[in-house]
Structures are given as C-alpha cells and as structure tokens.
Amino acid sequence: MIKLFQAKPAIHLYQLLVFLMLTIPYHSFSQESFVYNDLTYKGDVQTVLMHPADDPLGRPIMLLGTENSLILSFDVLGDMAYTYHYTLIHCSWDWKPSDLQPTFYLEGYTEDQINDYRFSLNTLTPYIHYTLKFPTAYLKPKISGNYLLVVYENEYSPANILFSRRLYVVDHQVSIKASIPQHNRDPKYSNTHQQVDVEVAVPAYLGNIPARSFQLCIQQNGRKDNMVSGLQPSQTYTDKIVYEYFNETLFEGGNQWRDLDLKSYKYQSERIQRIIQGTDYYSVKLWEDERRHRRTYVSEKDIQGKKLIQARQDQDTDIEGDYAWVDFFLAYEAPLTHGEMHLLGAINDWNVDKNSRMKYNYQAKGYEISKFLKQGYYNYQYGIRENGTQKAETELVEGSHWESQHEYFICLYFRKPGSIHDLLIGTLFINSHE
C-alpha cells in the first residue's frame, strides 16, 4: 500500500482516501477471475485517461507499424511519488486472454516503467500526476488485436495492481463501409432505434477463408453494456462479406447527452446549484435532473458521453486541476422494483457496475449518487438495468429518438485457420447522422 503522507497528515483527506478505497471493488487477479476491462483497483487512483497523443477525446487506437503514440495519464492522491510498472496482455475479440507467450506479441521487454510524474500545485486535494507516452523503445506490440494495459506497483501481483485499460492495435487489411438506414427492418423500432449495416471488402488472399474466421463488433459511443459483438456475416461473396440483420444490430436511439461544466470551481455554471470549498476538496451540488422520456427531441451538441479533463485557461490542468465530490440527483416518483438506476458515460469509465449504481432517496423522491471528479467537462445519462441483465436501457428516463447523434465504432477481427489468436484487421468510425 502506498504511504500517502509524511508529516502533518490531514485528517479530512485521510478519511476521504479510506472512503474511496472502501467503495472501489477489488478483483482477484488470475486467468480465471481477472476482469479484462477498464477497471481501477485502488481508491487513491483517480482520472485515468488513455488517448491518442493529438486527440484528448480520441479512442486508444494504435496503427501497427507506425509511429503514432498513445498518452496514458492518471493521478494518485497524496504526496508520495513512486515509480510504477506496466505490461500489455493480448486478448481475443471478446476480451479474454490469448493463449500466447508475451514474446510472441511484444517487442522488447515484457514490462516497462512509468517514471514521469509531477506534484499537484495549489490544489486542495494533493496528488501526483503521472504520464506515459507509449509505445516506447523498450516495449511495443508486434501483432494487431485487443490489448489490456495493466499498471502495478513493484511486482505483478493481485495486491499491487492499480488499474487496467483496454486499447486497440489495428493492422488495416480490409475496407469497411457502414450505414444507418432511415427505416429499420422492423417497423416498430423505426422512430426509436438505429440500425447499423456493415459491408467489408475482402482482399483475394482472404476470399476463400471460412466466414466463421471473422468476428464483427459494433460499439455505440464508448458503451460496453450494449455492445453488439461476435457477429457472423449474414451474406458472403467472393469479394465481400455483409452484415445485415433484422434486430441483432439495433441500438436504442436514446437522446443527446446531458452536460456538466466543472472547468472552474470559482463560478457556478448552468447545471451547478452551489459550490462549497472544504479543507481537502470541493463539494458541488447540482440542480436536480428530470426525466426526458416524454419530451420532444432537441438537437444539441455534445461530446458523445466522453469527458474532457480541462481546467481554466490560466491553469495547468494536469497539476492544477482540483477535485470535488459532485452530487447527482434524478427525480423519480418511486423506486424501481425490476432493476437498478445507473449513471452512464465515461464519467464511470463506461462501466455499468456497483460504482455507477444510484441509490433511491425516499425522502427526496429520487435517485442520487456522488462522484469524485477532477475539473473538466463531462457528459452523462441515466439508464435502467433490469435485474438479470447487463445492458442499461435509457428510453424510460432519457427518451429514445432515431434522430439522436451517436458515434459507432466498428471492429473486424480475424483468426487465421489453425491459429490461436485474433487479429484486428479493420476499424471504422461512423456518425449516426452525417
């Protein structure tokens, strides 16, 4: 465990750290039980970001054999700095560990260090900001596919893992086209859902390979709970494969994302009711949110559920951006009996789990949740996950409209007959309405 303080520890921050560490679930690390997902295992680790070097809102994608880089950054609360280590694990199309030795998919060493850090400056909440630009000369991927980046202290063991993040290494070998037709094949979803059709041009050297060697995955914005994955072609031709289904590629149209401007704690933006400066952090109470399921659709610009960590222009966000407990509240007449209410978006690393689940306040008649957030700009929505399911539905809270703007991320994986690993041979981004 990292020792956070030396002299004069602040009791309020100590209590904050204890609370954070108790509210973050710990996952045992083994091939069978380790979850290959975007998860944070230590409560003192905050604001983990991974994106292309030139695009803070971009998805963590690397092009195999090129010089494009990704930036990994994160904060560790406290005032003691350490050198951390990281490694990459190659995964299958469905995010399970590939049965490969690291030397098969990694060039150089099997682990590298993160030793670029700076201490926070003039913040109520003290922290150390870490940055890594990779791949490095000491570690880089050799093959395409899904990868899990794992950051840990000292040695690679369950007790030492700080967090894990997914990234994609693509070797473009095919051309992908996709469209969202104005009329869905199932008429009852025409006004509320969006259907994604995909066509892949296959080069001659892949033309005679069985269709089951290909796996298609479609992701709406960054959501993983409603991702369509493992699709087989609906039609195959000598030079292309087609994915056109009746309901399998339907997504809720949903609504535009709600926005929250936390770039400064010196003024109250539209969504903020009050800001209180404490000893070790700020407290921000938002105005209550209301359901939008009966409202007419209104087109508004958003960042498609993402988060942009950015403070005021006169601040260095990395080390001068401060933290706050932010209270969300959704007015709701009565508690759900068939499911759970969740806060959705990059604000929760796109996970629908115990950390995104909201609690019902019987006195105030609504769902509430508090999140510890760094200064920045956030998108979010509310969704209901019915008991026994993994997907959160947004229609009953946010409404669902075919006209909504969404970004779809399409990945095509290929497993060569006789091999034991999946390669990522094509990706595509499309917007629901260009």
Residue 421: closest CA among 146, 218, 109, 29 = 146
> What domain range includes position 426?
175-253+406-431
Q: Is residue 1 part of a domain?
A: no
* In the block, residue with structure tokens 């002299």: 7
* In the block, residue with structure tokens 């998805």: 59
Q: Say if residue 166 is in the same domain as residue 29.
A: yes
Q: Is residue 3 part of a domain?
A: no
Domain count, the chain: 3
User: The domain that contains 43 carries what CATH number?
Assistant: 2.60.40
Q: Say if residue 130 is in the same domain as residue 203.
A: no
What gap in Å lies between CA 164 and CA 60, rounded to an integer? 13
User: The domain that contains 420 carries what CATH number?
Assistant: 2.60.40.10
Query: Tokens at residue 262, please?
Result: 């936390």
What is residue 210's predicted lDDT score, i.e. its pLDDT? 82
Q: Say if residue 230 is in the same domain as residue 159.
A: no
What is residue 15's predicted lDDT score, i.e. its pLDDT? 52
Q: Say if residue 223 is in the same domain as residue 276.
A: no
Q: Is residue 400 part of a domain?
A: no
Q: Say if residue 238 is in the same domain as residue 98.
A: no
Q: Say if residue 20 is in the same domain as residue 134.
A: yes
Q: Say if residue 266 is in the same domain as residue 360.
A: yes
Q: Say if residue 181 is in the same domain as residue 158.
A: no
A 10 A CB-CB count for 284 gives 24
Q: From the first residue on, what is the mean pLDDT of each consecutive set of 10 residues in the chain (434 residues)? A: 35 51 42 80 96 96 92 96 96 95 95 96 97 94 97 89 97 95 90 96 81 93 95 90 93 96 91 95 97 94 96 94 98 96 98 97 98 98 96 97 96 93 96 86
What is residue 12's predicted lDDT score, i.e. its pLDDT? 55
Q: Say if residue 166 is in the same domain as residue 179.
A: no
What is residue 16's predicted lDDT score, i.e. its pLDDT? 56
Q: Say if residue 322 is in the same domain as residue 189.
A: no
Sign (positive or negative) of CA dihedral 399, 403, 409, 410:
positive
Q: Is residue 379 part of a domain?
A: yes
Q: Say if residue 358 is in the same domain as residue 226.
A: no
